[in-house]
Amino acid sequence: MSIDLDAILASQGPGLLDLAVQGPMAEMKGSTILGIAAQVRRLKAEGQEVCDLTVGDFSPQHFRIPSELSEEIAVALAAGHTNYPPADGVPELKAAIVRLYERRLGLKFSPDWVCVASGARPPIYAAWRLFTLPGDRTLSSLPMWNVGYYAQLCQTRHEFLHTQAQHGFFPTVEQVRQALPGARLLALNSPLNPTGTAIDRDVIEGIARALVDENRRRLGTGQPPCILLYDQVYWLLPSPGVQHHNPVSLVPECAPWVVHVDAISKCFAATGLRVGWAVLPPALQGPMKSLIGHIGAWAPRPEQLATARLLDRPERTEAALDALRGQLDARLSLAYSAIAAMEAEGLPVHAVKPQGALYLSLRVDLIGRGLEGWSFQDNESIRRWLIEEAGVAVVPFQAFDMEDESGWFRMSVGAVGLDELGAAMTRLHEAVRRRFGAAAPGQRGDLG
Ligand SMILES: Cc1ncc(COP(=O)(O)O)c(C=O)c1O
């Protein structure tokens, strides 16, 4: 006879269990993006044609991991690498990361600077946890992926630095310089999720200098330093002609205050393998290693060893990156040119030229307009219209903490084939032209 736990729960659980999670954790929210993606899956299951440009992930149908990774994982498993890895990563991977950073960024450091984890998220969370206390001031640009969740988890007084599209959605040096006094953590990400833009050399250099000045002022005052959490998980995926800039390469004196976060998740289309790392001064590596160890967020040993083998074959690493960049560029260029052509026709859409990662910023400028049963008061109504009329699913910048109802959306191209994307762009063009184009003057009567 088996015991029916659901029945026990139904008769005894509810009331009191609702009180089990208390305080800030009770207000913790799940990912908005995953909620939207679930809606897309539902619509598809109902038979609606929807191009899913929502999730910042790769579909293995279109994007395979480098063959070294799958082969070497199998080799490591067969060789019995099935026990706990060292808490800060296997020495082979730490050494391979050191060599990668020297080769690609011109930075030289010992393996004690590296802390390996199961993807980029554990070091990000660990950095927030270790370098802030509840009530501390923290900073980031806006929009930015997930930073609001981390600030909420750590109960910091978070200040989003508002940005503009013409600055690539990055803050200016002046904005950062003014905000730094008293701040414990500044989180930046380039190339940036959700916008697909990359930070200018002058801007990251100026921010790094401001950080050095701020921390020099704090020296001897008893005030803790401000840490720059520099998330560069997309750094090996710049668009053609775009260069990735790193604060430490430009201003070496900022090295003591910079925590780099990185992973194979995006740059090798390997989001499910769970290998990431932080590069940070050894004095900070100890506490990070302990925290990651206590929550058991290690990367599996076979994946670590396979990553080390891949990174230590520079020609294979470069070939894999070239192939992935080519696939992404083909998709981003297709979407960008399609939207630019719509804009040239006078339609109310705009895209920011992609500079890296898998994202494109799309503006659908319908706020305040109305249309046969549709009233576009907010991004959510535009999002629903795009799904229903054009079969195109995108994520509003609200999912990245931007509250302005200004018609900005993230398009993510990692889960679609070129044909599917091309067809989606044609549907989008037709839907916008039908409703808002000069060719449909009869439809324009109620536009605001
Ligand atoms: C900027 C940024 N950092 C970190 C991550 C998380 O990476 P991982 O899957 O390695 O935890 C993501 C995932 O979307 C991201 O966009």
Q: List pLDDT tens digits, range 191-206.
A: 999 999 999 999 999 9
Domain spans of the chain, in order of start: 25-62+320-433, 67-313
Structure tokens at 208: 């790094």
Q: Do domains 25-62+320-433 and 67-313 have the same CATH topology?
A: no
The answer to whether the CB of 244 falls within 8 A of the CB of 232 is yes
- Those residues with Cβ within 8 angstroms of residue 125's Cβ, 6 or more apart along the chain or in another chain: 150, 153
Q: Say if pTM beats, i.e. exceeds, 0.85.
A: yes
Q: How far, in Å, CA of 5 to CA of 266, rounded? A: 40
Closest to 398 (Cα-Cα) out of 386, 385, 380, 421: 380
Atom 7 in ligand 1: which residue has the minimum CA distance?
A: 120
Residues 322-350 pLDDT 10s: 999 999 999 999 999 999 999 999 999 99
Residue ranges, the chain, pLDDT below 50: 439-448
Q: May I ask the CATH architecture of the domain 67-313?
A: 3-Layer(aba) Sandwich (3.40)
Structure tokens at 240: 């053609």
Instruction: Quote the pLDDT of residue 11.
Output: 85
**How many angstroms does the Cα of residue 150 sit away from the middle of ligand 1?**
13
- In degrees rounded to 5, what are phi and psi of residue 134? -55, 135
Q: May I ask the CATH architecture of the domain 25-62+320-433?
A: Alpha-Beta Complex (3.90)
Structure tokens at 72: 């070497």
**How many angstroms does the Cα of residue 45 sit away from the middle of ligand 1?**
28
**How many angstroms does the Cα of residue 355 sit away from the middle of ligand 1?**
17
Ligand 1 — pocket residues by CB below 6 A?
Answer: 56, 119-121, 145, 189, 193, 231, 233, 263, 265, 271, 276
Sequence letter at residue 95: A
